[in-house]
Every structure is written in structure tokens, then in C-alpha cells.
Amino acid sequence: MIAEELISNEIPPLKTSDTGLKALGWMEEFKISHLPIVNHTDFLGMVSEEDIINYNAPDEPLGGYRLSLAQPFVRNNQHIYEVIKLVSDLHLSVIPVLDDHQKYLGLITLRDLIQNLAALSSIKDPGGIIVLEVSERDYSLSQISQIVESNDCKILSCYVNTIPDSTQMNVVIKVNRTDLRTVLATFTRYNYVIKGSYMETGSNDDMRDRFDMLMNYLDM
């Protein structure tokens, strides 16, 4: 999934002739704290709610503002993981998308990212979650997959994060089975360290409800 596929057409960009007051009104309407400034298709920068408050002249055009953010953007062909990293590093609520000619194509909202990441991670699909701790040297996704599949399960999603100041890493896998007992027993038999397991019971309504609550929170 690339940036161009994540663009939202609901939020228009600002122009340099727009005022800080207009920007604040749109930020309130769309529940965001950043907006791109664009003239025609030329991306000029991003104004934040904090910029407008600090400038303390909301009636003046944005063209006279000093922007705290250097022009943050992603290319239209960048992967969703790269988009998420930039949004996280800069604490953004939206991120502009440009083409190879520096032309503005649209923006991606934090909500868009979360919804699409949920789809990629199979968050709303029924299943169970297992967290393993392995050394970087011993990590083998093929072996982990083999163990899961030997129990008539499939891996729906998998991600890895390293442990700071350590050669250990956490491997988080979601499988398409809610009863994990036989899978956990096999991992134990292969001397894997199981840091945690989360078994959904009954339907997947609870997971969907929690995800929907998060989406509703972002809309507040």
C-alpha cells in the first residue's frame, strides 16, 4: 500500500492568502492540528495550530507566517510504513503527498493511516495473538511459520521490534485461530520464550468495538 492510495479528498489545502483564523476554523472542523499551504499545485509548507497561536495575529494572511515545520511531505510512491514513520517522528495529524515534480496531490490523515494499518495488520479479523522473545541471531520467520502451520493455523500478520540495549527482539504474530493452546505448546517444545498470548473468545465483536472506539476518539 503506497501513499497515493491513502490520499483523502475531504480536506482542502490552504492558500497563502487565507488567514490564520480560517486555518483554525478548518482545523476545528476536520479535527486536525496541521494543514498544508498550497498555491495552485505548488506545496509551500505546513502550518500548525501552534504556529497560528504563537504568531498571535489570526486575521493576517498565512503568507506572512513563520512556519515551525520544514516542508514535511511524502512521495506518492512511498510505502505506508514510511508514511507512518514520518508522521510519528514529526507528531503530525496530516501529511502532504507530492509527485516527483514537487506537485501537491493531496494529504493523508492520521485516521486514514490507522484504518489502513488495521487492514494490513488484520486487526479486525478473528484470531489470537502470540508474542515471542527471540535473539536476533536465532530469529527465523520460516521456522515460526512452520510451527504455526503444523498446528493447522495461518499467520495473518507479523511484526518485529527490537528491545533497546539488547540483542533480543519481540516477534508479534496474529494467527487465524482463537484457541492457541496447541500452538503455544509447540512453541514451548521448541524452546521459544512466550512473553504473552491473547486469545479471543466467541466472536470478534470486542476487537471491532475497540477499534471503532479508537476511530470515534479521533473524530472527537
* 3-118: CATH number: 3.10.580.10
Identify the CATH class of 124-200.
Answer: alpha beta
Quote the pLDDT of residue 67.
Answer: 85
Q: What is the distance between the terminal CA atoms of the chain, rounded to a whole angstrom?
A: 27
213 HSE (CA, 13 A, CB side): 6
Q: In 3D, which of 63, 67, 44 has the Cα closest to residue 54? A: 67
Using an 8 Å Cβ cutoff, are 170 and 135 in contact? no
DSSP code, position 195? E
Quote the pLDDT of residue 210.
Answer: 54
Stretch(es) of the chain classified as CATH 3.30.70.260: 124-200
Quote the pLDDT of residue 202.
Answer: 47
Q: Averaged in consecutive runs of 10 residues, what is the pLDDT profile of the chain (220 residues)?
A: 91 95 96 94 93 91 85 93 92 95 94 82 80 94 96 92 90 92 96 89 53 51
* Model pTM score: 0.70
- Would you call 20 exposed, middle or buried from its count of C-beta atoms within 10 A (0-12, 13-18, 19+)? buried
Quote the pLDDT of residue 206.
Answer: 56
Stretch(es) of the chain classified as CATH 3.10.580.10: 3-118
In sequence order, the β-bridge partners of residue 42 are 39, 103
